Amino acid sequence: MAYDEKMADRVREIIAERTNSVVEKRMFGGLCFMVEDKICVAVKSDKMLARLAPDVYEDALEKHGVTMMAKKSGPVMKGYIYIDYDQLTTHKQLAQWVNLALDFNPLAKSSKK
């Protein structure tokens, strides 16, 4: 599972500004940042995954470089988006998306069974 280590470091710094309750796990073909035992953000080799609130999710899909997450042989994963790295070149751009995911995290359903 390859992922962009520099992007992971950038994401790690932004998350650390808001919480220390984060666990990093390899999943989704990259590195996932689990906050409070919930999927929050993941970095891959060329894009970042973010879990967003339903109203933010719909608006996000209209932005350039943003696509919905879909399982290979299944449905769209509503609430999860991919953002191309070329849309995350500045700290402000990256922080905006990571903070949207962190804002939704307390309301998100836990991934634990």
d(CA 40, CA 34): 6
User: Tokens 């399982």 correspond to what residue?
Assistant: 71
Is residue 27 included in any domain, yes or no? yes
Is residue 100 included in any domain, yes or no? yes
d(CA 4, CA 42): 10
CB burial of residue 54 (10 Å; 0-12, 13-18, 19+)? exposed
Is residue 56 included in any domain, yes or no? yes
Is residue 111 included in any domain, yes or no? no
Is residue 93 included in any domain, yes or no? yes
Is residue 84 included in any domain, yes or no? yes
Is residue 87 included in any domain, yes or no? yes
Tally of domains in the chain: 1
The CATH number of whichever domain residue 61 belongs to comes to: 3.90.1150.30
pLDDT tens per residue across span 42-97: 999 999 999 999 999 999 999 999 998 876 666 677 899 999 999 999 999 999 99
Alpha-carbon distances, residue 59 vs 33, 48, 54, 65 (angstroms)? 23, 17, 9, 13
pLDDT tens per residue across span 22-32: 999 999 789 99
